[in-house]
Structure 1
Amino acid sequence: MSGRLYGLGLGPGDPELLTLKAHRLLRAVPVIAYPLAAGGTSFARTIAAPHLPGGQREIAIPLEMSTDRAPGQAAYDTAAHAIAAELEAGFDVAVLCEGDPFFYGSFLYLFSRLAARYETTIVPGISSVMAGAAAIRRPLSARHDAVTILPATLPDEALRARIEAADSVAILKLGRHFGRVKTLIASMGLTGQAVYAERVSLPGERILPLAETGDAAPYFALVLLYRGAEPAILGPLAPAEPGR
């Protein structure tokens, strides 16, 4: 009998923000797999580390951040082959996923290669958008507000059109695009309605009004922008939570 494949959502970074189900499976599965960034670090494994029992076999998936899709797809081919070998031998495999497996997650590429052949369970995780709203202490939306989630990689014209059509906006994947996105928001007269967050739920978390930021941001950063009409959201930001 084949093993089961798990896409395990780990949340935004704080190891305490795992679900009970994710925690149970992390401690039970005999094999874990995770993306490994160039340079030898895995953010997903770092999140999971406090909960791992030890002794599990590990499959690292080396990935490079690049606009060229070919090397990444080859890495997923290799990883899928290694995972399939464990599943064929009857062992369950948990793929560790930052945030949520199906929200801008690389698990998609393993799912597309393996789910048709093996029983697969997706364990959702807290996304950076929800964690960001909690850290900023401002609701994302209310009543009839439309929430739009945008990658900063979109060209200015597309970002502008989609921001104008939304009540509440989350812009992710900032990194090297941050200065351009910040300039665009300013040109729309919306800087005062935008809040910046980086490394949400982690040591070094920073929350700032967009107007108070520089022009550099890490990849794990986002902007939340509210354009709706709910008075309770339009009020001043709540003070920071003590002890964060």
Structure 2
Amino acid sequence: MSAQGKIHGVGLGPGDVDLMSLRAHRLLENARHVAYFRKEGRSGRARGIVEGLLPNDAVEFPMEYPVTTEIPVSHPDYNSVLSAFYSECTAHLRALAEAGEDVVVLCEGDPFFYGSFMHLYERLKDDVPVQVVPAITGMSAAWTASGQPITWGDDVLSVLMATLPEEALVRHMAAADALVVMKIGRNIEKVRRALQAAGRYEAAWLVEYASMEGQTVQRLSEAEGRITPYFSIVLVHGNGRRP
């Protein structure tokens, strides 16, 4: 029997190829099988980041989400549909690894930070070797783009998903010293209301496409009426203890 192959969950960073790790770059240059998530009909943002880096003969396995925003996350069908999808993807990757093939799974940002790869990892880690390559997160790129440190001294940083109920957002926003709010998109008005209720609105910044082409940085209050893309992050910087 051939030795088992390995599944590599490779973090690509926030989008700028220059911010990718050397380990990730080496794995990409030598990849035989490459898997990545994408929406149906799209090329996939992770795949776009590595354009020109993969070997010409690499076998690609695009994993197309069955749902994205068509079903609310609270709908009973949401988890069941995605669970079946992740199980199908896992079966394909497991079969490749059991046949002795290494597979590079492309992951935007860091694989263990709110990423889809985590669902594959939990289903694969007890059956085949899985290696995770960490990376710079999108939120790190966002606060760097803002030109201000996100935390000082003993500041408490909260990372919130804009998909949370509004009352939960208000509670967390009021309790933390510094904030990162992700998954904005169509939730932008809810985020605005929550920040206003928590008394943090005037201190909030909006960063779109951090480290990517089209990056913008502005105060959230100056972007009234804007339709924000999914790849947007709202920041409230801490102002804690310092020498």
What is the CA-CA distance between 1:76 and the residue it aligns to? 1.3
What SS does the aligned partner of 2:14 have? coil
Which of residues 80, 83, 89 is equivalent to 1:73? 83
What is the CA-CA distance between 1:227 and the residue it aligns to? 4.6
How large is the Cα RMSD of the aligned pairs? 1.5
Which of residues 185, 196, 200 is equivalent to 2:195? 185
Corresponding position: 1:138 with 2:144: no
Aligned to 2:235: 224
Rounded to whole Å, the distance in 1 between the matches of 2:60 and 2:40 is 17
Structure 2 counterparts to residues 165-244 of structure 1, below 5 A: 165-215=175-225, 216-230=227-241
Aligned length: 232
Return 5+ residue gaps in structure 2 as ranges.
none
Structure 2 counterparts to residues 1-244 of structure 1, below 5 A: 1-63=3-65, 64-65=67-68, 66=71, 67=73, 68-215=78-225, 216-230=227-241
Residues 79-109 of structure 1 deviation map (CA, whole Å, 9 limit, x = unaligned): 1111112111111111100001010000011
What is the CA-CA distance between 1:180 and the residue it aligns to? 1.2
Amino acid aligned to 2:237? Y
Q: Percent identity?
A: 35
What is the CA-CA distance between 1:53 and the residue it aligns to? 2.1
Residues 118-150 of structure 1 deviation map (CA, whole Å, 9 limit, x = unaligned): 111110111111010111111111211111100
What is the CA-CA distance between 1:230 and the residue it aligns to? 4.7
Residues 173-231 of structure 1 deviation map (CA, whole Å, 9 limit, x = unaligned): 00111111112212333222111001111111111111101342111101011253357
Give the alignment's TM-score, normalised by structure 1.
Answer: 0.90
Residues 36-67 of structure 1 deviation map (CA, whole Å, 9 limit, x = unaligned): 21223211111112321221111111102143
- Taking structure 1 as reference, are residues 212 and 180 closer, same or farther at Cα in structure 2, changes over 3 Å only? same
Whether the 8 Å CA contact 2:173–2:195 is kept in 1: the answer is no
Amino acid aligned to 2:150? L
